Chains A and B, each alone.
Chain A
Amino acid sequence: MSPEQQRLVMRALDAAPLVLFALVLAGFGALSPSFLAPANLVNVLVQSSAIAIVATGMTFVLLTAGVDLSVGSIMFVAAAVSGKLLLAQGWPPSLVVAGIIALGGLCGLLNGLLIARLGLIAFIATLGTQYVGRGFGMWLTETRAMNLPEAFTQLASNRLLGVPLPVIVAALVVAAAHAFLMRTPRGRQIYAVGQDAAAARKAGVNVRGVLWTVYVLCGLCAGLGGAVALAQIGSVAPTFGANKEFAAIAAAVLGGTSLFGGRGRVWPGTVFGAVLIQGIENGLNHLNADPYLYPLITAGIIFVAVLLDSARGRLRRTLGRRRIRPD
């Protein structure tokens, strides 16, 4: 392949996530017209708002070539604490939401300490905090399910100007995250660190500070995502938030975020990824597909996204090779 052809292939691979998204939507739409009805599309958005928020946080971490496996546990701890505060302490819902977010940030600080300060591998550090968090949450809830008062669950069904509140919250988070990544110095430095941490350090970027930032932000998003999911579900079970880290990673990767760092965006990428995952589930529902098949199909689509990502990475390395002659 000539460099020009390689660049063309590169463009095609870059556009692949969006093409995948369009194909899936069109496919479901063709098979079941009710899928594309406005009410159902809004439904998909509502269903995907919690995971979109968590995946936004995950995108920050993936951009630095790290990973956070503890987001599901952070969601659970946040939900457990807020359940306690609502039921036993009688806090007002708005205060509880603020508390949840702060708690998420605190968990993120712990991850930041382990990874940015103590230099652990992100994978194993967050695997450890995942278990510590899950155990802590179960201790708080005494492994019983808690049903939350209506004052709180109402938050999920409220609408503002006709738009469901969870969608508004997700949109605000996405807008803020996008602005942060695109328009602030720290946001741009995240991309530099993910591309090449050593070079970033040489260029004078505070690499440790960037790592702290992404894990704290990821914790904050996990806490908030947990609050949204909690309001939607209305109860805290011991499995609350379980495996959400995988859904979040999948959403980010489906949206074109690279696992090798330095590539990806919250908007449109991660948002589309999150909507795609929920859309598939919703679409299969509309087709009356065997619900047991959902994880298989989701896994298949994620596999394709990862395959495209690694093909892209390899091609990029070929294109980036040093040239000696100006041929």
Chain B
Amino acid sequence: MASHHPPRTTNHEPRTPWLVRWLGGEHLVLWLVVLSFVGLLPFTPDLASRENLANLLLTLLPLLVLACGQTVVLITGGIDLSACAIMAVASVVGGLAMNGDTGWLTGSPWAAPVGVLLMLAVGAGLGALNGLSVAVLRMPPFMVTLTTMMAGGGLAIWLIRSETIYNLPPAFNALGGRLALATLITVALAGGAHLLLSRTLLGRWLYAIGHNARMAHISGVPVAGVMLAAYVLSGLLAAAAAVLYTGQAETASPLLGQRLLLDVIAATVIGGTSLFGGRGKVLWTLGGVAFIKLLDNSLNLLNCSFFTITMVKGAVVLAAALLDATRCRLLEAEA
């Protein structure tokens, strides 16, 4: 029953149709950004003004940080609806600690660094609550982060009774307000997230869980720990975004980021990160964030009203979702 000549196996790698390649292409969104920028320029020459570009960049930075956190969670197949609420709580706690009138750290030379650390700790703590509920108690991410969103929003308002805190330390305001500094911080954070996802053990594990959590568990991936890390990271990045936004506005407010949730999810989904998990990159998210911000900015310059912008954004999300669904269907048909 022995043989010395094993039969040969053959394998054909299927050719990918061009439509699938284009739709699934990595740089689709970056192209869209460039195209819409060039296309819009004749209608709003102001778009390319130095002042406007600086403004565009400044408002893009914190959104990018926030969206990086969302990308990490989406890659695991989860979602973090509470990121914006976490941002609000972090902002308020930072404001309470640092402000020059009644702050706990008033007058201390360490006010700004300790305040920032405190904000980050708040973000990590709330993220850990999400993570523990999802990973250990195995609750659905959507509902968990929804309740955190409700509770966080309420907590931020309760802490300072809907007021706004002014008089923050100048050193702190510079973090988000000075363009060079804010850019540096954002590049460091987004770059860090990129390296984490592409070059580290944790990053590979995040993708593996998003692709197939059962398979990952069987393959020895510590699934619960990795999920926890994803939500803590999202919380941390939300807090970092709060530092940038709060510094930019020079005020701490519980209403910070109330309307950002759609922008964040839209940016990541438009970038190509899949809601089903396993697919996503920081670079793609950068494209999505740039697209959303460009849309915002140019529609503003075109004197479109807030409601038009809201409608257009909703339509863009639907278009991105349709694209994602079409892509999935094409891939399935191909398989």
Q: Which residues of A contact B (CB under 8 A)?
A: 67, 114, 118-121, 123-125, 127-139, 143, 246, 249, 253, 259-260, 290, 292-296, 298-300, 302-303, 306-307, 310, 314
Given contacts A118-B322, A120-B322, A296-B154, contact A131 B275 (CB under 8 A): no
B35 at the interface (CB under 8 A from A): no
Does B262 count as interface, using CB distance less than 8 angstroms?
A: yes
- Contacting A at CB under 8 A, from B116-130, are none
Instruction: Choose one: A127, A143, A246; the contact of B265 (CB below 8 Å).
Output: A127
Give CA–CA (A49, B151) in the complex, Å: 24
- Beta-carbon contact of A143 and B307 below 8 Å: yes
Q: Do B306 and A138 touch across chains, with their CB atoms under 8 A apart?
A: yes
- Known pairs A246-B146, A310-B138; A296 contacts B158 (CB<8 A): yes
A292 contacts B322, C-beta separation under 8 Å:
no
Is B260 on the interface with A (CB-CB < 8 A)? Answer: no
Residue pair B306, A300 in contact (C-beta under 8 Å)? no
B147–A299 contact, CB under 8 A? yes
The interface residues of chain B lying within 8 Å CB-to-CB of A294 are 154
A295 with B154, Cβ < 8 A, contacts A127-B262, A134-B310, A139-B308 known: yes
Residue B144 lies at the interface, judged by CB distance under 8 Å to chain A: yes
- Interface positions of B (Cβ within 8 A of A): 79, 133, 137-140, 142-144, 146-148, 150-151, 153-155, 157-158, 161, 262, 265, 269, 275, 305-315, 317-318, 321-322, 325, 329
Which residues of chain B have C-beta atoms less than 8 A from A307's C-beta? Answer: 133, 137, 139
Looking at the complex, which one of B158, B161, B314, B329 makes contact with A131 (CB distance below 8 Å)? B314
Residues of A within 8 A of B306 (CB): 138, 143
Q: Does B143 contact A125, Cβ atoms closer than 8 Å?
A: no
Contact B144 A293 (CB under 8 A): no
Which chain B residues lie closer than 8 Å to A137 at the CB level? 307
Q: What residues on A are CB-neighbors of B150 within 8 Å?
A: 246, 295, 298-299, 302
For A131, what are the chain B residues with a Cβ–Cβ distance below 8 Å? 262, 310-311, 313-314, 317
A residues in contact with B317, CB < 8 Å: 124, 127-128, 131
Given A120-B322, A127-B265, A294-B154, also A314-B138 (CB < 8 A) = yes
- Per the bound structure, the CA–CA distance linking A127 and B265 in Å amounts to 10
Partner of A128, one of B158, B318, B325: B318
Measured CB to CB, the closest approach of chain A to B76, in angstroms, equals 16
Task: List the B side residues contacting A134 at CB < 8 Å.
Answer: 307, 310, 314
A sample of 25 cross-chain residue pairs with beta-carbon separation below 8 angstroms, ordered by A number, consists of A119-B325, A120-B321, A128-B314, A128-B315, A128-B317, A128-B318, A131-B262, A132-B311, A135-B314, A139-B305, A143-B307, A249-B146, A259-B143, A290-B158, A293-B154, A295-B153, A299-B147, A299-B148, A299-B154, A302-B150, A303-B133, A306-B140, A306-B144, A307-B133, A307-B139
Given the known inter-chain contacts A135-B309, A135-B310, please indicate yes or no for A125 contacting B318, CB distance below 8 A.
yes
**Cβ-defined partner of B314 (8 Å) among A119, A129, A314:** A129
Chain B residues positioned under 8 Å from A306 (CB to CB)? 139-140, 143-144, 147
Residue of A with least CB distance to B316: A128
**Across the A-B interface, how many residue pairs have beta carbons closer than 8 Å?**
127
The residue among B153, B269, B314, B322 with the most chain A CB atoms within 10 A of its own CB is B314
Q: A37 to B307, alpha carbons, bound, how many Å? A: 44
Give every chain B residue within 8 A of A67 (Cβ-Cβ): 142
Residues of A within 8 A of B158 (CB): 290, 292-293, 296
A136 adjacent to B142 (CB under 8 Å):
no
Give the complex CA separation of A125 and B154 in angstroms.
27
Given A128-B314, A128-B318, A135-B308, are A292 and B143 also a contact pair (CB < 8 Å)? Answer: no
Contacts of A298 in B (CB 8 A): 150
Return chain A residues, CB-CB under 8 Å to B133.
Answer: 303, 307
Q: Is the CB of A123 within 8 A of B138?
A: no
- Given the known A-B contacts A121-B275, A138-B306, A259-B143, are A130 and B154 also in contact in the complex, defined by CB atoms under 8 Å? no
Quick one: closest B residue to A110, CB to CB? B318
Known: A120-B322, A124-B317, A295-B150. A253 touches B311 (CB 8 A): no
Q: Once bound together, how far apart are the Cα atoms of A303 and B143, in whole Å? A: 8
B142 neighbours in A (Cβ, 8 Å): 67, 123, 259
> A120, B325: Cβ atoms under 8 Å?
yes
Contact of B140 among A128, A130, A143, A310 (CB under 8 A): A310
Q: Is the CB of B138 within 8 A of A118?
A: no
Q: How far is the CA of A125 from the CA of B269 in the complex (A)?
A: 12
Q: How far is the CA of A227 from the CA of B148 in the complex (A)?
A: 30
B143:A139 contact, CB within 8 angstroms:
no
Asked whether B307 lies within 8 Å of A135 as measured between CB atoms, the reply is yes
The CA-CA distance from A290 to B161 in the complex, in Å, is 10
User: Which chain B residues border A253 with CB–CB below 8 Å?
Assistant: 143
Would you list the 10 A-B pairs with minimal beta carbon distance, nearest first?
Answer: A295-B154, A131-B314, A135-B311, A135-B310, A138-B307, A132-B314, A299-B151, A128-B318, A292-B158, A299-B150
